[in-house]
Amino acid sequence: MTAEYARTEWDRALEAFRAAALLLAHAGFDSAASRAYYAVFHAASALFALEGRTFAKHSALEAAVHRDLVKTGRWSADLGRDFSFCVDVRGVGDYGSEVRVDASQAKEATAAARRILVVVRGALPDEFPAVPDV
């Protein structure tokens, strides 16, 4: 994939992260968790795009995160757990019928997203924007 595609994915990651922070501040916990997930989804997609890789399924991206980033030592096990936490809480936020994301889960998902974005940003070209302090 091109650097242009990676930049588009990175911009989407930052937009989703900002949205997660805003939603968290306004008690939109389900939506904040969903946006936190999409922040990490797009961030990981940007990273893999620079390596010429894209994924058609969310589950394939999650598998690649664990197989190609965590197991190889490029990411810590904690970061892998952060990614999976965002996946899990997004499922509750987007599809939970009787169970909802609570304030602490939304806050943790947003914090996990920030940790992942900071690490991904360190591996991106210098001209890509920094992770905002929100």
pLDDT tens across 17-39, in order? 999 999 999 999 999 999 999 99
Matching residue, tokens 């904690």 = 78
Matching residue, tokens 């805003």 = 22
Is residue 48 classed exposed, middle or buried when 0-12, 13-18 and 19+ CB atoms within 10 A define those classes? buried
Rounded average pLDDT over 6-12? 97
Matching residue, tokens 């595609």 = 5
Structure tokens at 62: 């999650």
Give pTM, 2 decimals. Answer: 0.95
Where does 3-122 sit in CATH, by number? 1.20.120.330
